[in-house]
Structure 1
Amino acid sequence: MAEQIVRLVIDKLIQLLITTEENLSRDAREGVSFIRDELQSIRSFLRDADAKAAADGETTNDSVKTWVNQVRDAAFYIEDVIDEYLLRITRRHQDPGFIRFFHKIIRLAKRMRSQDGIVSKVDRMKKLVRDILERRKRYVLSPIDQQGGDNGERTLLRHDPRVASLVIGEDEVVGIDSARKELTDLLVGGEPRREVISVVGMGGLGKTTLAKKVYDSQTVMDHFDCYAWFSVSQSYKEEDLLRTVVKKFCDSRKDPYPEGIDTMDEESLIRKSGEYLQQKRYVVVFDDVWREDFWGAIEHALPGNKGGRIMITTRNQDVADFCKKSCFVHVHHLQPLPPEKAWELFCRKAFQFELEGKCPPELEDMSREIVKKCEGLPLAIVCIGGLLSRKDKVVDEWRKLSNSLSSELESNPHLTSLTRILSLSYYHLPYHLKSCVLYFGIFPEDYSINCVRLIRLWIAEGFVEFKKGKTLEEVGKEYLTELNHRSLVQVSEAYIDKKARSCRVHDLWREVLLKKEFELTSKPTTRTRRLSIDSSPSDALGSIRESQIRSVFAFNQEEWPESFLNTLRGNFKLLKVLDFMDAPINQLPKYVGDLYLLTYLSLRNTKVKLLPNSIGNLQNLETLDLKQSLVYEIPTKIKKLVKLRHLLVRHLRKLGLKNLKREYGHAICASIEYEVLDLQQSISIPPESIWFLHSKGSPEKLPSWISKLQ
């Protein structure tokens, strides 16, 4: 996450150099350029720190963590300095004629003092960056490729929390009969060709357990001439993987190992594996695969004759898709346990040694509430049920655990395996996705967010990086798709064409994200950036009064004190995101126009009727969401919003655009969402390529061309 913050700061430094050239002295410009260049080098080390965290998980060296925290705090300070300076420049340009003239008269008098102010801050920023570079040298923090971790090799975790999945007894397995039969049939049936069966799902869903039960079945053992199981995880070297697989194939038939196998290089191992399996029907399981290019490392070592079967378990859909380039692939998306199976598993664990495995009536309501929080995740049910089996069977004890589940996940040693397995998905995210997934912690428990809204928020926050030939919205969609493929984000609602409409995260995964966010922001020096209000706004203001707040969200509010809106002007002057969706407000104060850095403003489903003329001052605004509000007229000042990308309105009757280039027509239509549309007048002939037409509301009549559709 620190790498993402540094990237944003570098972009802002470039913006500062471009937009304020005439206002900065030569020394200040040189200082800013120095900071930008040094941060670029620091950024490369942060990428290595992220890679090391992925390899080591929670065992990352404390000195590395300390250094990363210092980088993040310095980046926050630099961002604040830049934003405050840009805010001052923007305000000067926004002043009306007389005030602007007055400022021009006194500007020369104040120029030296203001230059001294920005120069001193630039000097402090330079010192911060120099100190960070010195600390890196002092702690001997070198890139991973200088620490012996090249060619894909990774440091092993001290303890693999998945080991228990390999030895689970048959009586402890619930709800896998259908999936077990399907996978068994895929292994022993089908064409006599090489096929890959991929089991995909989020961590803790039981992929390893299911695959092991299928692999160990007598039906599978009898069908194949040789077999091998390999736990890949994050830690493997291609030569070691190939060598181990060949040895396990030999062990399954009690054959001697090929001569010299321990000294063979990768090419020799591939050739030897192919020779050994040439006339054999084999099955091999690669458990817990993370890297998308894994298939490229082993495909040539596994021949395609005699009906060979390769089973892969992974959290990442893209791992399964990568195999399709040279092999027939079956993808089995493992689903959470249905409610009754989840209840059965919970009772087996919580009451396994007493009460004949049955829940006493007085604990049933509380127990079902706990099971509901697990959302069908077998590992969570087993861990929490096992913890409760050690507690007194009284309502107060169980209620205490239910109410404090978040802190229990963080501190209770009996839940360590659950949090570690879930955390692995975070550690192995690319750096550009970590901020995106942490963003889900802003939203309340069990909250589904519209995918388009989420992507626009990511863009407003600066999480989405520019890619040549693609819009930011297209790149943001790729980010969300990747998080879904990695089994981190669930589609909660889909359109008729199966494209995602809304998404959410598993509640326990959200708890892990909140824990990670807390680790990043719990230090006294950390500057709070985002305020999510799920209680009284007054209570929130009582605990936080910082000008560094960049984003404000409101959820589940029944009333909204006017004092909060008044606070925005003075305390939150650097706001970038103001999301009042569903908030009980009926007006927007005129000084909202003073929030010059605002990029995202949502009044969706509020009772706001009028927009102040000062909204024309928001020249950085990219998204203005007025859908389902009572706003019936937009001020003419909106024409000043030169960066506006998305205008979402309810009753769009007339829209005038001057000097619009033909090639921008589709982009304009895609950027404006409206709810009133006359299909008969707007589209006089049936569209040639229409696939489906979705109409929501109460149409007076359907267009006459509807009957002509084929």
Structure 2
Amino acid sequence: MAEIAVSHLLANFAPFLQEEVNLLTGVRDEIEYIRDEFERMTAFLRVADAMEERDPELKVWVKQVRESAYDIADALDLYMLRLGHHHGNGVCGFLRKVSCYIKTIKARHQIAFEVKRIKSRLINISNGHQRYADIHRRQEQASRPTVAWYDSRGDALLLEEAELVGIEKPKRELTQFLLEEDPRLKVVSIAGMGGLGKTTLTKKVYDDTIVKKHFQNHAWITVSESFKIEKLLQSVILQLFEEVKQPIPQGVENMDTNSLKGIIKTFLQQKKYVLVLDDVWDIHAWQSVRYAFPNGNCGSRVILTTRNIDLASFSSREYHGKVYNLTPLAPEDSWTLFCRKTFQGNSSPPYLEGLSRDILRRCEGLPLAIVAISGLLSTKEKNVEEWERISRSLGAELEENEKLTSMSKILSLSFFDLPWNLKLCFLYLSIFPEDYSIDHWRLIRLWVAERFVEAKDGMTIEEVAQSYLNGLISRSLIQVAERRNDRRIKTYRIHDLWREIIVSMSREQNIVTLSSECGTVWIKKVRRLSVHQNLEGEQESSCFTHLRSLIVFSSIDSFSILSKVALLGDDLRLLTLLDLEGTQLETFPNEVVKLCHLRHLSLRRTNLKTIPKSIGNLRNLETLDLKHTHVIEFPDEILKLQRLRHLLSYRYHMLDWPFFQDQTGFKAPMGIGSLSSLQKLCSIEANHDNNNGIVLKEVGKLTQLRRVQILKLRREDGKVLCSSLEKLKNLRSLLVRAIQVDEIINLDSLSSPPQCLRTLYLVGHLQRLPRWIPSAFNLVRVCLVYSKLRDAEPLRSLHDLPNLTHLEIFTAYDGEELCFKAGAFQNLETLWLCLLQELIWVRVEVGSMPHLKKLSLEKCKLMADLPSGIEHLTNLEMLHLADMPYSLISRLNRGLPGGDYWKVSHIPHVEIGVWKDGNWEGSFLS
């Protein structure tokens, strides 16, 4: 992880060495030496990253390197702040340069002293580690464990089934799959985070008497993260031959991998076998053994357990199998297991039940954690004070209590297996409070602002960050909490115990400092500060001079936090990231415009109303997030922010249907097209100050746009907008909202849609859908609002789109009949029909919408019956009925003769209710 700090530093040396104002004598040489030394270190840092947890001395060295890189970056940035001014040309420019030199001579000496100090420190670090020559020797030594710890994963193979909880259903389902009468070789992958009990479950299935009798040959191989292919294959051969009491082939111990695979393949040919590959970490491990297992069309099976979801999907899809995603224990099973281990099978004493359930909640159904923590509690006095202390300091217990060490180590294996560039990204998640829903785009923008993400050819930096997220998801380190209607991920979360672990790691390595209600132990140099409750203590000002990031999650203490930010303004000049989302801010802090290095500024969900002209000082700003504020206009000085990639400012008005003006954007400066780096622009008003479409023409210059929202569009502006849209080849998301509810949106001038377009929102009167809709093959989501279409045109234009999964029709269709034809909408998963005031009936033909999962009908007051043919939607999981006529709802009564209950009996969830004062009141049909 130190490599990230060093790489950023190396990228920033050139401007300093090329600075037009001369450095003091010798300082340039000092800086060049430091640069060269860091370049030499870089070659060893990736090796060291993989070894440091096993080598305490190396861990200290890596930390020293990282802190030195941060320190020199601070010194160089301070130099730019104090001396890096443009003085102009000619005599006046020369005089200003001389004057500036004289005025800053003291600062120059201070910087020179700091550079020399860092150089001396760097030399000591280098010499202390013997110039890194022993790194490779350490790598070899580190491959052998240097710190003994008990790996309890093997215990899973010895557990009696009577000791287990919640295993019956998954065992039954997996056994049924193994016994299926299908002659093809199949791979079933059991996937999930460490500690869920994948090995335990697999062992019980593998040892089942019926399974044993069903297969001729059996073998169990534990792969692990550091397997040796020859040893693994030799183990398979040994088990197979011993099972049938045949002699082991001679010379096996000296054979190469191809010879070993040949023996296995020959032995298993035309046999019905079951093999378990337990604890497989990556695709390489699977690929190194898979061709040893023949497909003899005998009904053989391979069971693979893994923490890597991508690997599970890859292996099972390749061999006609399935992925079984193991889930945490249900609350009742968790409580049973907890009481069994903590109270020796007895119930919890009433006075401890509240604390017990609080501790158990943080285990989140993870069997490994429940067993480990209940084992610790079983040895403690059964008193409230002791249990309250453990609940309060669970993170410290994970670090220090030997009864929990093994569990922490098992969970941490997934972290240590991460590539170096993902480790820092994962530790950074410690900035978020417990149980916090982490917004997808917020996290990506934070990572980018922190410079955690490497640039790659052909990809935006945000796309690279997305690949990092996918890597953490596939390794079961973060969980998808919520998806958007077009299947994109909206929020993430991390397991509470994982959070405890990474908070500890992050604090140890000075990645993030947390200020919380439990108090904060302030370190000497705080680099990143996350405020969860209060900014307390007396030494903040002395440790904030190196602060790079400040994120505030507390609105309760927002005034005191912001006042301290103001008081520390001069000491926060190195700040690159400021996130005050949700605080009680009403005016733009003057101190912020002094932060010349600021790359990310979020004032989302504050009461801010105006932006000062001095915003133009923030020349390095890349993200300006003002969503859900009251800002409706930007000064022209914002056009100075040439690095801006995300400009977000809009607000929704929480009004009841069928109001139209429910979104406010901002008045864009006339020259907004000069912000050529913009990727997201939300939301600009097309018409203000009689600009005659100039703003819409400017949009066409923003060729990097991925997402844009256009508000207050007039009919006559359609051609100008279409002309601009044709230039936006990278556009993924488009929202167009008319200036009035009756204003026509005319987008027919667009010859062809942006080929990357995934989501389309059209809010306003449409005489017809744009002619290019059928050729927008990548559309995933379409939302039509107030369209006033009078025939079935929307369906005919949309029904063949191959990727369309989500369709919303809100007050958009004035016809009486709606028919979904056979073969239409082959991939649609969600259909929402709302406020269709004239709609009387809906028909679904056989073969239409075969993959529909959710159907929502709201406020269609003339519909007296369910959609005809709804019984054909066999994959429907949710039917949502809101404010629908009583005549329709009453016919769903299970006991009503001749009613419609039979039409929905196959749907797992049928929800019926009404909206009252903006709140949903409903229940599920039983």
* Residues 234 and 653 (structure 1), Cα distance of their counterparts in 2 relative to 1, 3 Å cut: closer
TM-score by length of 2: 0.70
Give the match for residue 175 of structure 2. 184
Tell me which of 519, 523, 532 is aligned to 2:508: 519
Residues 1:681 and 2:745 are matched in the alignment: yes
Per-residue CA deviation, residues 311-339 of structure 1 (Å, 9 max, x unaligned), is 11111112224436853342111111121
Displacement of 1:118 in angstroms is: 4.8
Classify the secondary structure of the residue corresponding to 1:383.
helix
Give the match for residue 782 of structure 2. 693
Classify the secondary structure of the residue corresponding to 1:341.
helix
Displacement of 1:16 in angstroms is: 3.6
* Residues 276 and 669 (structure 1), Cα distance of their counterparts in 2 relative to 1, 3 Å cut: closer
Displacement of 1:131 in angstroms is: 3.1
* Equivalence map 1:207-606=2 (5 Å): 207-305=198-296, 306-323=298-315, 326-352=318-344, 356-521=345-510, 527-537=525-535, 539=537, 542=540, 545-559=543-557, 560-561=559-560, 563-606=563-606
Larger displacement relative to structure 2 (2-11 or 685-694):
685-694
Higher helix fraction (1 or 2):
1
* Residues 157 and 214 (structure 1), Cα distance of their counterparts in 2 relative to 1, 3 Å cut: farther
* Residues 405 and 673 (structure 1), Cα distance of their counterparts in 2 relative to 1, 3 Å cut: farther
Residues 1:87 and 2:86 are matched in the alignment: no
Displacement of 1:376 in angstroms is: 1.0
Displacement of 1:222 in angstroms is: 1.0
Displacement of 1:612 in angstroms is: 2.0
Tell me which of 794, 801, 804 is aligned to 1:709: 794
Counterpart residue identity of residue 324, structure 2 = H
Displacement of 1:310 in angstroms is: 1.6
Per-residue CA deviation, residues 646-675 of structure 1 (Å, 9 max, x unaligned), is 000013254343467998645335277989
Larger displacement relative to structure 2 (684-693 or 438-447):
684-693
Q: Are the counterparts in 2 of residues 565 and 589 from structure 1 also a CA contact under 8 Å?
A: no
Residues 1:69 and 2:63 are matched in the alignment: yes
Give the match for residue 46 of structure 2. 47
Give the match for residue 665 of structure 2. 652
Give the match for residue 36 of structure 1. 35
Per-residue CA deviation, residues 207-240 of structure 1 (Å, 9 max, x unaligned), is 1111111111112211111111111112221111
Rounded to whole Å, the distance in 1 between the matches of 2:41 and 2:543 is 31
Classify the secondary structure of the residue corresponding to 1:73.
helix
Per-residue CA deviation, residues 581-620 of structure 1 (Å, 9 max, x unaligned), is 0011111222311100000000100011122221110000
Counterpart residue identity of residue 175, structure 1 = G
Classify the secondary structure of the residue corresponding to 1:464.
coil
* Residues 108 and 569 (structure 1), Cα distance of their counterparts in 2 relative to 1, 3 Å cut: closer
Counterpart residue identity of residue 459, structure 2 = K
Rounded to whole Å, the distance in 2 between the matches of 1:273 and 1:307 is 17
Rounded to whole Å, the distance in 2 between the matches of 1:671 and 1:6 is 36
Rounded to whole Å, the distance in 2 between the matches of 1:206 and 1:379 is 7
Larger radius of gyration, structure 1 or 2? 2
Counterpart residue identity of residue 624, structure 2 = L
* Residues 568 and 598 (structure 1), Cα distance of their counterparts in 2 relative to 1, 3 Å cut: farther
* Residues 639 and 702 (structure 1), Cα distance of their counterparts in 2 relative to 1, 3 Å cut: same
Q: Are the counterparts in 2 of residues 541 and 564 from structure 1 also a CA contact under 8 Å?
A: no
Larger displacement relative to structure 2 (459-468 or 342-351):
342-351
Give the match for residue 626 of structure 1. 626
List alignment gaps of at least 5 residues for structure 2. 514-520, 651-663, 677-697, 713-734, 739-743, 748-765, 796-926
Q: Are the counterparts in 2 of residues 232 and 287 from structure 1 also a CA contact under 8 Å?
A: yes
Counterpart residue identity of residue 177, structure 2 = L
Rounded to whole Å, the distance in 2 between the matches of 1:136 and 1:390 is 44
* Residues 393 and 108 (structure 1), Cα distance of their counterparts in 2 relative to 1, 3 Å cut: closer
* Residues 614 and 193 (structure 1), Cα distance of their counterparts in 2 relative to 1, 3 Å cut: same
Q: Are the counterparts in 2 of residues 283 and 308 from structure 1 also a CA contact under 8 Å?
A: yes
Rounded to whole Å, the distance in 2 between the matches of 1:388 and 1:586 is 48
Classify the secondary structure of the residue corresponding to 2:705.
helix
| Higher RCO structure (Cα 8 Å, ≥6 apart) | 1
Give the match for residue 608 of structure 1. 608
Rounded to whole Å, the distance in 2 between the matches of 1:706 and 1:141 is 77
Displacement of 1:89 in angstroms is: 4.1
Rounded to whole Å, the distance in 1 between the matches of 2:788 and 2:27 is 63
Q: Are the counterparts in 2 of residues 156 and 234 from structure 1 also a CA contact under 8 Å?
A: no
Classify the secondary structure of the residue corresponding to 1:437.
helix
Q: Are the counterparts in 2 of residues 419 and 512 from structure 1 also a CA contact under 8 Å?
A: yes
Rounded to whole Å, the distance in 2 between the matches of 1:648 and 1:682 is 26
* Residues 674 and 290 (structure 1), Cα distance of their counterparts in 2 relative to 1, 3 Å cut: farther
Q: Are the counterparts in 1 of residues 398 and 404 from structure 2 also a CA contact under 8 Å?
A: yes
Rounded to whole Å, the distance in 2 between the matches of 1:674 and 1:412 is 58
Kindly, what percent of the aligned residue pairs are identical?
A: 40
Per-residue CA deviation, residues 505-551 of structure 1 (Å, 9 max, x unaligned), is 11110000011112213999863111111122354874764210111
Rounded to whole Å, the distance in 2 between the matches of 1:664 and 1:176 is 59
Q: Are the counterparts in 1 of residues 533 and 556 from structure 2 also a CA contact under 8 Å?
A: no
Counterpart residue identity of residue 410, structure 2 = I
Larger displacement relative to structure 2 (284-293 or 321-330):
321-330
Give the match for residue 876 of structure 2. none
* Residues 341 and 13 (structure 1), Cα distance of their counterparts in 2 relative to 1, 3 Å cut: same
Larger displacement relative to structure 2 (245-254 or 392-401):
392-401
Larger displacement relative to structure 2 (635-644 or 363-372):
363-372
Rounded to whole Å, the distance in 2 between the matches of 1:157 and 1:671 is 54
Higher strand fraction (1 or 2):
2
Counterpart residue identity of residue 258, structure 1 = P
Rounded to whole Å, the distance in 2 between the matches of 1:332 and 1:587 is 52
Counterpart residue identity of residue 56, structure 2 = D
| Count of matched residue positions in the alignment of Structure 1 and Structure 2 | 692
Classify the secondary structure of the residue corresponding to 2:275.
strand
Give the match for residue 670 of structure 1. 707
TM-score by length of 1: 0.90
List alignment gaps of at least 5 residues for structure 1. none
Rounded to whole Å, the distance in 1 between the matches of 2:791 and 2:463 is 31
RMSD of aligned Cα (Å): 3.1
Residues 1:142 and 2:124 are matched in the alignment: no
Rounded to whole Å, the distance in 2 between the matches of 1:101 and 1:629 is 45
Displacement of 1:11 in angstroms is: 2.0
Q: Are the counterparts in 1 of residues 606 and 629 from structure 2 also a CA contact under 8 Å?
A: yes
Classify the secondary structure of the residue corresponding to 1:332.
strand
Residues 1:206 and 2:197 are matched in the alignment: yes
* Residues 627 and 221 (structure 1), Cα distance of their counterparts in 2 relative to 1, 3 Å cut: same
Classify the secondary structure of the residue corresponding to 1:458.
helix
* Residues 387 and 665 (structure 1), Cα distance of their counterparts in 2 relative to 1, 3 Å cut: same
Q: Are the counterparts in 2 of residues 576 and 599 from structure 1 also a CA contact under 8 Å?
A: yes
Classify the secondary structure of the residue corresponding to 2:782.
coil
Rounded to whole Å, the distance in 1 between the matches of 2:708 and 2:32 is 36
Counterpart residue identity of residue 652, structure 1 = G
Q: Are the counterparts in 2 of residues 590 and 613 from structure 1 also a CA contact under 8 Å?
A: no
* Residues 241 and 72 (structure 1), Cα distance of their counterparts in 2 relative to 1, 3 Å cut: same
Classify the secondary structure of the residue corresponding to 2:188.
strand
Counterpart residue identity of residue 574, structure 2 = L
